[in-house]
Structure formats: C-alpha cells, structure tokens
C-alpha cells in the first residue's frame, strides 16, 4: 500500500503541523480529545501525485461517521472521564429529550451532521497546511514520488 508508505515518512512534518494547527482546533467546537478521534478516522491521499505542480493532499473523511457516536460520548464526559456537569448542550436532557434522540428527532442528530461537516472542513485545512509544510521543506516532490508507488 504505497499511500501509507508516504504518510509514514512525513511524521516530523505532521508533528509540526499538529502543533501549529492546535489553535484552529481550540477555535472549533472540538476538544483536543475529539480532534484526536477525528484524526483517527481521516486518511490523507495525494491526488495527481505524478504531477507535483498539480498534486494536492486531500483528506478522505468518508469514515468520519464511524467516530461520531464516540465524539458525542466524549463531549458528554466531564473531567477525568466522569459524567459531565453541564449536559444541556444538545436539547436540555430529560425524558422528552431521550425519546426525541431515540427517534432521531433530538438535537444530537443534526449536531452530528454539523460536527461531521466541521470535522471534514478542518481535516482538509489540516491537509492543506501539511502540504504547505512539505513544500516549504523541499520534500513535496519526493513525497509525490513515494505516493505514486
């Protein structure tokens, strides 16, 4: 699998982008733990690796929906993994809220889609910053060659 090969070789650049990208994560609706979950579901690919001038890193976010239930669970946790003190974030709690959520009518259903869209936008912004980092380091062409196979 040549795609993972190139991603394995850019760990240093990923760490540098992670540090710089932290401010964008803080400005988002995600906690750092939730962003970590997002990043486990995102895979990076290089479109058109044969032409480094036209190539670009894109975030494959097709697996984001698989981490959304866990993201909600993390959001509802308080410090140290216990129940959160303010769980009124989605629709106020209570029996009616539980019934609405079970029927797919509660606030969390739409919130998940919004969060998923926000996560996809952030992941693509991360991909763009990663490409900029690789270009500024003079590694972009070699990374494209590695991605090409």
Quote the CA–CA distance of 91 and 97 in Å, as a whole number: 6
Per-residue pLDDT, averaged over 73-98, amounts to: 57
| pLDDT tens, position by position, 35-59 | 999 999 999 999 999 999 999 999 9
Per-residue pLDDT, averaged over 68-92, amounts to: 65
Tokens of 65: 């929906």
* pLDDT for the residue numbered 80: 57
Q: Give bridge partners of residue 14 from the DSSP assignment.
A: none
The pTM assigned to this predicted structure is 0.77
Whether the CB-CB separation of 25 and 122 falls below 8 Å is answered with yes
Q: What is the CA radius of gyration of the chain?
A: 18
Cα 89 from chain centroid?
A: 21
């Amino acid at each position: 699998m040549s795609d993972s090969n190139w991603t394995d070789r850019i760990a240093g650049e990923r760490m540098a982008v992670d540090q710089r990208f932290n401010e964008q994560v803080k400005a988002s609706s995600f906690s750092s733990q939730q962003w970590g979950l997002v990043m486990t579901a995102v895979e990076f690919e290089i479109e058109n690796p044969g032409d480094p001038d036209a190539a670009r890193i894109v975030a494959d976010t097709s697996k984001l929906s698989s981490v959304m239930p866990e993201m909600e669970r993390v959001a509802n946790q308080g410090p140290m993994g216990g129940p959160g003190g303010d769980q009124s974030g989605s629709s106020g709690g209570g029996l009616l809220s539980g019934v609405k959520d079970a029927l797919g009518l509660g606030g969390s259903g739409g919130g998940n889609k919004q969060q998923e869209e926000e996560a996809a936008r952030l992941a693509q912004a991360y991909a763009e910053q990663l490409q900029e980092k690789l270009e500024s380091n003079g590694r972009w062409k070699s990374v494209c060659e590695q991605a090409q196979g």
